[in-house]
Amino acid sequence: MAARGPAVIRINAIWLAGEPLDMRAGTDTVLAWVVKMFGTARPHHAYLFVNKSGTRMKVLVYDGLGIWLAARRLNRGRFVWTEGAPIATVALNAKQLQALVTALPWKTLATDQAIAVV
């Protein structure tokens, strides 16, 4: 078995934007949204956006040297996103992110991985 090296992209914090994003947006536009909604794009932070229908997601990561932009589209179902406040920003942990990108109810996982909502 081969040894695992360091991750290509280090992510120290994950932020979820409550306001939907037009998925036609490119890197510069998404970066402008990050600065508008979060105040700044911090190194090693991931910023997640969803479209209005909840079927597409974009993730912007600033690694300290450059910008990474990734997209994910669901063939069935919708991403479980924030509800209520349209301009809310939510911090997620790695387990919550893993649940979110697979369209599972991430809100049930508290930051210490304890179930907090049923």
Q: Is residue 17 part of a domain?
A: yes
> Does 57 map to a domain?
yes
Tokens found for residue 39: 């105040």
Cβ within 8 Å of residue 28, ≥6 positions away: none
Which of 77, 75, 117, 76 minimizes the C-alpha distance to 96? Answer: 117
Identify the residue with better confidence: 110 or 98.
98
- pLDDT, tens digit, for every residue of 66-79? 999 999 898 888 87
Domain membership of residue 117 (yes or no) is no
**Alpha-carbon torsion angle 82, 103, 118, 86, nearest 10:** 10
Render pLDDT for 44-74 as a digit per residue (tens, 0 to 9): 998 989 999 889 999 999 998 999 999 989 8
Contact 54, 41 (CB under 8 A): no
Instruction: Determine the pLDDT at residue 59.
Output: 92
Mean pLDDT score of the chain, rounded to an integer? 79
Long-range contacts (CB closer than 8 Å, 24 or more residues apart) made by 3-11:
9/61, 9/63, 9/68, 10/44, 10/63, 11/44, 11/45, 11/46, 11/61
pLDDT of the residue at 111? 56
Is the confidence at residue 5, as pLDDT, over 70? no
Q: Domain containing 62: what range?
A: 13-107
Q: What is the number of structural domains in the chain?
A: 1
